[in-house]
Amino acid sequence: MMAPNGPATTVKAAKSTRKAHLAVSRVEPWSVMRFSFVISLVCFIILFVAVIVLYGILSGLGVFDAITDLISSLTEGGEGDELNLRPEEWFSPGRVLGYTGLIGALNIILITSLSTIGAMLYNLAADLVGGVDITLSESE
């Protein structure tokens, strides 16, 4: 085959992106509840592991022993004035991890319930104003 006599021309395919203008008019509260529960559960696990690691580091460095000694020396009474404080129990692993578990469980309940209530409120507001408009574009 012979090359054409004129200058070489190249044809470039024009990239065309499709755009879609949509409105989020309803959010399913059940799916929001499941999603927020899983996310809050993951955050709880991250919090628990972080507290375990931080407690191990601080305990290894002797921070809790130093705080216990400081509190004991500050609260020593003179003549019969005993306060009956036990600061060594405040920083026990069971107590620290127990409070972490309690706070984490409360966070799971609060985040899940507030997200579900937020989805319901969004649905009520979307009925009034039509929802949130978004534009989606397809890229290749």
Helix (H) or strand (E) holding 78: none
Tokens representing residue 34 in the block: 């499941």
Question: What is the SS3 assignment for 133?
Answer: strand
- Name the pLDDT band for 8 (thresholds 50, 70, 90): low
What percent of the chain is predicted at pLDDT more than 70? 82
Tokens representing residue 133 in the block: 């408009």
DSSP sequence for 29-55: HHHHHHHHHHHHHHHHHHHHHHHHHHH
- Name the pLDDT band for 7 (thresholds 50, 70, 90): low
Overall pTM > 0.95: no
57 residue type, one letter:
I
Summarize pLDDT for 15-74 with one digit per residue, the tens: 667 888 888 889 999 999 999 999 999 999 999 999 999 999 999 998 988 988 888 787
Summarize pLDDT for 98-127 with one digit per residue, the tens: 999 999 999 999 999 999 999 999 999 999
What is the C-alpha to C-alpha distance for residues 106 and 102, in angstroms, rounded to an integer?
6
CB 120 within 8 A of CB 28: no
Whole-Å CA distances, 50 to 15, 47, 54, 57, 64: 48, 5, 6, 11, 17
Long-range contacts made by residues 38-41, C-beta under 8 angstroms, separation at least 24? 39/111, 40/107, 40/108, 40/111, 40/112, 41/108
